[in-house]
Homo-oligomer: A and B are copies of this chain.
Amino acid sequence: MDRQFPALSCSMDGSADQDRISLAHGEGARASRRLLLEFILPRLHASRRQAEVGNHPSEKDSIGAIIQDAAEIVTNQRQLAFCTDSHTITPLFFPGGDLGSLAIFGTVNDLAVSGAVPRWISLSLILEEGLKLSVLGAILDSCALAASQCQVEIVTGDTKVVPRGAVDAIFLNTSGIGEFYETPPPGPSSIQVGDRIIVSSSIGRHGTAVLGLRNGLKWSSGFCSDCRTVFPAIRALRSGLPSGIRCMRDATRGGVGAVLQEWARECQLSLQLNDSAIPVSAEVRGACELFGIDPLYLANEGTFVAVVAAEVASQAVGAIQKCPGFEDAAEIGDVHPRGISPVTISRIGGRIRPLDEPTGAPLPRIC
């Protein structure tokens, strides 16, 4: 899959480079078709063979569908989840992932935390004229591998090419459809006083990895994004816990803090965190001190938060911890009547303080 496709070059504008995207690749004619048939689809196709997913349309149908205007999908469920995300991360490659894996896992995770089983993904590419084919190829390979790991199918897509300067290298959009086999959790408005807040794994790893990379910290320093699917952990949680889950959310942009602020607003209660219970790796803690950032507001890409009934909390944490990669799941707080602030945190010393929403420097293009 790593071979070059020099035949894809297009000399029609006189300046085309053998190994780069040209405007002609976006024109809907010959060069577009060759890019799709000879470069994009073989990469996506290769992984589909590995996926061996059950009652999905055949490979042939799916590949055909990507060339058609719309894919045909067949479901046995009346209730479906539907979500979308555009991905603009920079740099494109970071410790633990890249734009491609991030796009697939991000959409898979949105479906998973809604309570659905992720099934079908659309992949839309916006490419800058001059983008190296080797970069596009690596990102597509990564999409394919991630989709294969998640047992989802990339069934439809779109490619646009814009002139130099109209987009920074490459943006992806992934939309996804999932099937509800069980009733989804009721949502944050069902949160009750006494409920427990749990987090699936140590927090802030994606944000730290990107922040570190942008600021020239060495990859060898242990920073690694948590970019991955949370679906196995969600499945473990739900099958181990027939009831008592109020809500789940993957804590991406804005981190665990943003999710809790939103939930507190919806349930009109106070979510209280126990600082010492929050799993944060030594590397992330060090980077946060260096940059003066609260790990609660750093992005994650493979970590979710949930609120569960008190009586099932330890069972919930145990179920998640059994899932490889989620061993440091923890109960990190509980729910109180609305007090001084929507979200509070008890720091060392026992004093309870409001957890303010961040007003510091923004961290654009983290996902």
A211 in contact (CB, < 8 A): no
Q: Are A114 and B72 in contact (CB under 8 A)?
A: yes
Task: Report how many copies the assembly holds.
Answer: 2
B122 touches A175 (CB 8 A): yes
Task: Please report the C-alpha to C-alpha distance between residue A361 and residue B184 in the assembled complex, in whole angstroms.
Answer: 52
Residues of B within 8 A of A32 (CB): 253-254
Instruction: Say yes or no: is A328 at the interface (Cβ < 8 Å to chain B).
Output: no
- Within the complex, the shortest CB–CB distance from A74 to chain B, in Å, comes to 6
Separation of A365 and B167 alpha carbons in the complex (Å): 12
Contact present for A120 and B362 (CB under 8 Å): no
Which among B72, B163, B253 is the interface contact of A80 at CB below 8 angstroms? Answer: B72
Selected contact of A362 from candidates B26, B88, B122, B363, CB within 8 Å:
B26
State the A residues within 8 Å of B (CB).
12-13, 23-24, 26-30, 32-33, 64, 67-76, 78-88, 90, 109-111, 113-114, 116, 120, 122-126, 129, 155-158, 160-163, 165-168, 171, 173, 175-178, 180, 184, 187, 249-250, 252-255, 257-258, 261-262, 297, 299, 357-365
Offer 28 A-B interface pairs, CB within 8 angstroms, sorted by A.
Answer: A12-B360, A12-B362, A13-B362, A24-B362, A26-B364, A27-B254, A29-B254, A29-B297, A30-B359, A69-B110, A69-B111, A69-B114, A70-B110, A70-B178, A71-B81, A76-B78, A82-B122, A86-B158, A88-B160, A88-B167, A122-B175, A126-B171, A129-B364, A162-B364, A165-B168, A166-B365, A167-B167, A173-B175
